[in-house]
């Protein structure tokens, strides 16, 4: 086992990794940008190294600065968390070249799975059903149009170098194809430096289900159950749970088997996730995420396995401490992501300084959080602040504990996704487990009558206060640019 781990990330996941290192007796090195000087992960690590200015490109994506920080502090391993450089094969190689163990899959596996049509070809060769569509990335908009036309709308355009919905466009009307191809290519070029796209038949309504797997350096692969992640907005997940409400034992075994075959076919080592769509009892492979995922705690809750210490042990060359037959999944777990987004304004990122914070606790409740009073929520990064995870003997108990946890939670100073979660946990379709990828657009925002009165009151107070602030500053005297009324705000 190594002695000192550099955590190439920020926020709640950096804290999660620091905790795992502590549990293993490993020293920790945090890194931070100028926007994160006062962040919790910096204070919780043994040491911290400044990377650079706030923009990710100059800090958390700065490979040279990260490798240099590891060298200067004598770290012998690097944990990338999720996002940032976690699926970047060049970063894994740069770590290896500097004599650092990268806590993640081999660069070769990352590269193959990162090119999403290569991953689709790999799935096909491994006998895993994929969504109908292209098996080769295209850079020519005319060729893309022809292929999309042949598939027939609805289709979805996806960035070949992307994943997770970035650069993704759903095309329901062929007349919009050209415009959407252009905008998807632009977004893909901007986000990944690669404009190439592929096109798939758009399947709906579907459940979005992913399978957690772990693989060691000795070639053993074990799957640890699935997570339903259908509740998303702007391709950001809001709620995840395990087991998936619509997943029966037969399809669960098939999904697990498919995930293991994908892991073996790609030469995977460490923790990974295979994403699928389930439509009418049939499943289709989407992509493999070659990293730890945000929602890993729900799998930890039902399996009792600490995935982050396991990642570190695997990276150190230790064999998996269990075989498939040892895996017992107990009860049900659900996660609500608390992000600095305004659920009443289409989940646009919200800015602010955290005032009062109260985070929940008690039986069956876990919180992975980067919150503290006085935190200035940076707008440069992902808006995730905290994750609340509830575990129970069955789904009803997990949901009940989540309701209790959300009632206890207070995050003052910034709009958060909490009102959405409180809504969903009381909403009949969600309670029945009868939801799919259309859930958020079909149910949110609800009519004001369906909102809890305290939510309407809070929105009204917030609107009045923000109007007062604006009135005292630079608003035109005729009030022409004043904000919507409190009631309109509440209704949105
Ligand atoms: C799809 C799909 C339907 N058909 N692909 C979203 C992120 C990602 N990794 C894959 N995603 C999807 N890919 C095909 N061919 C549906 C989703 C999807 C989704 C789409 C719209 C709104 C919410 C969604 C939630 C989960 C998955």
Q: What is the pLDDT of residue 473?
A: 43
Q: Whose CA is nearest to atom 7 of ligand 1?
A: 165
Distance from residue 363's CA to the centre of ligand 1 (Å):
34
In a domain, 315, yes or no: yes
Residues 307 and 330: their CA atoms lie apart, in Å, by: 16
Distance from residue 195's CA to the centre of ligand 1 (Å):
20
**Residue that the structure tokens 């090195």 belong to:** 29
Query: 142: domain range?
Result: 132-201
In a domain, 119, yes or no: no
Pocket test for ligand 1, best of 154, 167, 204, 208 (most atoms within 8 A of CB): 208
In a domain, 113, yes or no: no
Domain boundary among 407, 425, 443: 443
427, two tokens: 């909403």
Nearest to 84 by CA among 35, 14, 3: 14
Same domain, 310 and 383: yes
Tens-place pLDDT, residues 189-248: 999 999 999 999 999 999 999 999 999 999 999 999 999 999 999 989 999 999 999 999
Same domain, 171 and 219: no
Same domain, 196 and 213: no
Q: What is the pLDDT of residue 486?
A: 44
Q: What is the pLDDT of residue 467?
A: 65
Q: Whose CA is nearest to atom 11 of ligand 1?
A: 165
Q: What is the pLDDT of residue 449?
A: 60
Sign of the CA dihedral 51, 20, 317, 326?
negative
**Cis amide linkage into residue 154, ω under 30° from 0:** yes
Tens-place pLDDT, residues 248-268: 999 999 999 999 999 999 999
Same domain, 331 and 278: yes
Same domain, 304 and 179: no
Same domain, 423 and 407: yes
Q: Whose CA is nearest to atom 6 of ligand 1?
A: 165
**Residue that the structure tokens 């395990």 belong to:** 242
Q: How many domains does the chain have?
A: 3
| CATH code: domain of residue 18 | 3.40.50.20
Q: Of all atoms in ligand 1, which is nearest to the CA of residue 439?
A: 23
Distance from residue 167's CA to the centre of ligand 1 (Å):
12
In a domain, 109, yes or no: no
Same domain, 421 and 309: yes
In a domain, 428, yes or no: yes
Q: What is the pLDDT of residue 492?
A: 44
Domain boundary among 184, 201, 218: 201
Distance from residue 279's CA to the centre of ligand 1 (Å):
12
Same domain, 350 and 410: yes
Domain boundary among 201, 228, 247: 201
Q: What is the pLDDT of residue 167?
A: 84
Residues 152 and 173: their CA atoms lie apart, in Å, by: 10
Tens-place pLDDT, residues 24-55: 999 999 999 999 999 999 999 999 999 999 99
Classify burial at 363, counting beta carbons within 10 Å of its beta carbon; exposed 0-12, middle 13-18, buried 19 or more: exposed
Answer yes or no: 291 catalytic.
yes
Q: What is the mean pLDDT of the chain?
A: 94
Distance from residue 437's CA to the centre of ligand 1 (Å):
7
Cβ < 6 A, ligand 1 pocket: 131, 156, 164-165, 200-204, 206, 208, 230, 232, 235, 275, 277, 286-287, 437
Q: Of all atoms in ligand 1, which is nearest to the CA of residue 275?
A: 9
Pocket test for ligand 1, best of 165, 207, 237, 346 (most atoms within 8 A of CB): 165
| CATH code: domain of residue 337 | 3.30.470.20
Same domain, 258 and 317: yes
**Can you point out the beta strands (E) in 396-469?**
410-411
Same domain, 276 and 144: no
304, two tokens: 């009792």
In a domain, 485, yes or no: no
In a domain, 151, yes or no: yes
Same domain, 43 and 77: yes
Same domain, 150 and 285: no
Per-block average pLDDT, block size 10, for the chain (492 residues)?
Answer: 98 99 98 98 98 98 98 98 98 98 98 98 98 97 98 98 89 97 96 95 97 98 98 96 97 98 98 98 98 98 99 98 98 98 96 97 98 97 98 98 98 98 98 98 85 76 70 40 42 46
Catalytic residue among 169, 207, 227, 291: 291
CA atoms within 13 A on the CB side of 411: 32
In a domain, 357, yes or no: yes
Sign of the CA dihedral 23, 2, 16, 6?
positive
């Amino acid at each position: 086992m190594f002695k000192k781990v550099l955590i190439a990330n920020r926020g709640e996941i950096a804290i999660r990794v620091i905790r795992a290192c502590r549990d293993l007796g490993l020293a920790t090195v945090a890194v931070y940008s100028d926007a994160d000087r006062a962040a919790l992960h910096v204070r919780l690590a043994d040491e911290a190294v400044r990377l650079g200015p706030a923009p990710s490109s100059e800090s958390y994506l700065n490979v040279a600065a990260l490798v240099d920080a590891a060298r200067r502090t004598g770290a012998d391993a690097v944990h990338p968390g999720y996002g940032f450089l976690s699926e970047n094969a060049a970063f894994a190689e740069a770590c290896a070249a500097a004599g650092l163990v990268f806590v993640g899959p081999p660069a070769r596996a990352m590269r193959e799975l990162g090119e999403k049509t290569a991953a689709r070809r790999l799935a096909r060769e491994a006998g895993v059903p994929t969504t109908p569509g292209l098996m080769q990335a295209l850079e020519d908009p005319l060729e893309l149009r022809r292929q999309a036309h042949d598939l027939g709308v609805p289709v979805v355009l996806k960035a070949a170098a992307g994943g997770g919905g970035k650069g993704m466009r759903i095309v329901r009307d062929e007349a919009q194809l050209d415009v959407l191809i252009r905008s998807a290519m632009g977004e893909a070029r901007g986000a990944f430096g690669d404009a190439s796209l592929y096109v798939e038949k758009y399947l709906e309504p579907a459940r979005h289900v992913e399978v957690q797997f772990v693989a060691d350096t000795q070639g053993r692969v074990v799957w640890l159950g699935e997570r339903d992640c259908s509740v998303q907005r702007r391709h950001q997940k809001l709620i995840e749970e395990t087991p998936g409400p619509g997943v029966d034992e037969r399809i669960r075994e098939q999904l697990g088997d498919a995930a293991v075959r994908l892991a073996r076919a790609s030469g995977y080592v460490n923790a990974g996730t295979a994403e699928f769509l389930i439509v009418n009892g049939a499943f289709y492979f989407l992509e493999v995420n070659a990293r730890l995922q945000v929602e890993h705690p729900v799998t930890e809750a039902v399996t009792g396995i600490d995935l982050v210490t396991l990642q570190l042990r695997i990276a150190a060359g230790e064999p998996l401490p269990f075989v498939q037959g040892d895996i017992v999944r107990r009860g049900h777990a659900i996660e609500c992501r608390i992000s600095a987004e305004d659920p009443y304004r289409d989940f646009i990122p919200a800015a602010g300084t955290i005032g009062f914070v109260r985070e929940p606790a008690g039986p069956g409740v876990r919180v992975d959080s980067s919150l503290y009073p006085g935190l200035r929520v940076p707008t440069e990064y992902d808006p995730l602040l905290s994750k609340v995870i509830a575990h129970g003997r069955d789904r009803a108990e997990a949901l009940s504990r989540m309701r209790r946890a959300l009632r206890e939670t207070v995050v003052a100073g910034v709009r958060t996704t909490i009102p959405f979660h409180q809504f969903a946990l009381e909403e009949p379709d969600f309670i029945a487990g009868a939801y799919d990828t259309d859930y958020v657009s079909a149910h949110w925002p609800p009519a004001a009558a369906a909102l809890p009165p305290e939510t309407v009151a809070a929105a009204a107070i917030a609107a009045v206060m923000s109007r007062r602030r604006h009135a005292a500053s630079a608003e035109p005297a005729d009030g022409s640019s004043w904000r919507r009324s409190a009631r309109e705000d509440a209704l949105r």
